[in-house]
Amino acid sequence: MTKLSRYATFSWGVLLYTIFVILWGAFVRATHSGAGCGSHWPLCNGEVIPQAPQIETIIEFTHRLSSGLALPMVLVMAVWAYRAFPKGHPVRGGAMASLFLMVTEAIIGAGLVLFELVAYNSSVARAYWMIAHLSNTFLLLAALTLTAWWASGGPAVRLKGQGRLGALLGGGVLCLMLLGASGAIAALGDTLFPATSLAEGLQQDFAPTAHLFLRLRLFHPAIAVGTALYLVIVAALASAGRPTGPTRSLAQVLVGLILLQMSAGLLNVALLAPVWLQIVHLLLADLLWMVLILLTASTLSHTPVQAQDPFEGQPLPVLGLVKE
Ligand code: HEM
């Protein structure tokens, strides 16, 4: 294995750190701590450093501090990319996209607090913001993952001439994004309307007066089954269509993660989504997303395997020319 450059090591580190920040953000939601700093932003309850904080304040403040540190890290990554890589290198584009998406992530996070779409708020507006937050998080993870991959020597993506496999992979990316968004609604339903037993949970979901989030939460497992089957087929096609080392390994890891995540989802329902399992489920969702992005990038960096040209290296029968 070749040694990673300092830039590549740094960019994988930024990715790892961002995953920690995302998981801590889910912990804030799951523990109803989003209003731990009141509706103040960037101050916490009107103070730079909260005095005599409650546990919710500590959880929310830690999220603000850790996410606040992620922004300068990505800024360093972007500036460094321009110094270390030549014009047109994909690392530059990936790092700039990461910076942009980190800023929009912070804006969405600030919006959640300023518009008080936190803690026990059950408005439909909160659902839209959560979907926007989840989608932005996925796009940010995609940009960071690709930056680190390209900085580690991963080949650039070529969209032209990729045929049906390219479209199928693009469809997979969109499906997983939609699945993630439906998961964000399910998570909101579980946080706002916790059930004390599986039977009570199901009764809640099917009651004629059920809240919109509870009715929508039923769709998540159904979307998961459809997406999982689709992704397994696409992974098999990618592995067969571009049988290179990384593509094959990534396809295998993707299928393994899908199996693991489906089991975690079932366990989530059975155990009534305890906080620790919500965090594990989100971690698996993020890993699955990153592996799908890498599988897509790895597959689309190669052109389809061509049928062997029978005249390669032979004199062309009519003109007597040698075909290269
Ligand atoms: C590939 C499959 C799956 C993916 C990618 C996925 C993704 C997600 C995501 C991103 C969330 C939101 C997490 C958060 O914001 O904290 C979520 C929540 C949830 N998912 Fe899934 N999911 C999958 C399969 C399933 C399955 C099969 C079930 C149930 C049978 C399930 C049940 C739940 C439940 C109950 C929640 C709400 C509690 C929580 O946040 O963990 N998921 N899912």
In angstroms, what is the span from residue 174 Cα to ligand 1's centroid? Answer: 16
pLDDT at 242 (0 to 100): 81
In angstroms, what is the span from residue 23 Cα to ligand 1's centroid? Answer: 14
DSSP SS3 for 322: strand
Tell whether ligand 1 has an atom less than 6 A from the beta carbon of residue 130. Answer: no
In angstroms, what is the span from residue 265 Cα to ligand 1's centroid? Answer: 6
Tell whether ligand 1 has an atom less than 6 A from the beta carbon of residue 267. Answer: no
Looking at the CA of residue 257, tell me the nearest atom of ligand 1: 1
pLDDT at 169 (0 to 100): 97
pLDDT at 2 (0 to 100): 64
pLDDT at 309 (0 to 100): 40
Angle between helices 55-84 and 124-151 (to 10 degrees): 40
Q: How far apart are CA 143 and CA 248, in angstroms?
A: 22
Output the CA–CA distances (angstroms, integers) from residue 207 to 192, 213, 302, in the order listed: 16, 12, 52
> Which residue's CA lies nearest to atom 11 of ligand 1?
183
> Which residue's CA lies nearest to atom 13 of ligand 1?
282
In angstroms, what is the span from residue 261 Cα to ligand 1's centroid? Answer: 8
pLDDT in tens, the chain (324 residues): 567 899 999 999 999 999 999 999 999 888 988 777 877 777 787 787 887 778 989 998 899 899 999 999 999 999 999 999 999 999 999 999 999 999 999 999 889 888 888 778 888 899 999 999 999 999 999 999 999 999 999 999 988 878 899 999 999 999 999 999 999 999 988 888 888 888 888 888 888 888 888 888 889 999 999 999 999 999 999 999 887 879 999 999 999 999 999 999 999 999 988 999 999 999 999 999 999 999 999 999 876 654 344 444 444 444 334 333
pLDDT at 103 (0 to 100): 96
Check: CB of residue 182 under 8 Å from CB of residue 216: yes
Tell whether ligand 1 has an atom less than 6 A from the beta carbon of residue 224. Answer: yes
In angstroms, what is the span from residue 256 Cα to ligand 1's centroid? Answer: 16
Helices then strands, each counted (H, E), the chain: 10, 0
| Residue in this structure with the two tokens 């390219």, named with its chain if needed | 166
Output the CA–CA distances (angstroms, integers) from residue 247 to 17, 112, 159, 264, in the order listed: 26, 39, 16, 25
Tell whether ligand 1 has an atom less than 6 A from the beta carbon of residue 179. Answer: yes
* Residue in 101, 173, 177 with CA at minimum distance from that of residue 134: 177
Q: Can you give the three-state secondary structure of the chain, one letter per residue?
A: CCCCCHHHHHHHHHHHHHHHHHHHHHHHHHCCCCCCCCCCCCCECCECCCCCCCHHHHHHHHHHHHHHHHHHHHHHHHHHHHHHCCCCCHHHHHHHHHHHHHHHHHHHHHHHHHCCCCCCCCCHHHHHHHHHHHHHHHHHHHHHHHHHHHHCCCCCCCCCCCHHHHHHHHHHHHHHHHHHHHHHHHHHHHHHCCCCCHHHHHHHHHCCCCCHHHHHHCHHHHHHHHHHHHHHHHHHHHHHHCCCHHHHHHHHHHHHHHHHHHHHHHHHHHCCCCHHHHHHHHHHHHHHHHHHHHHHHHHCCCCCCCCCCCCCCCECCCCCCECC
* Residue in 287, 222, 215 with CA at minimum distance from that of residue 257: 287
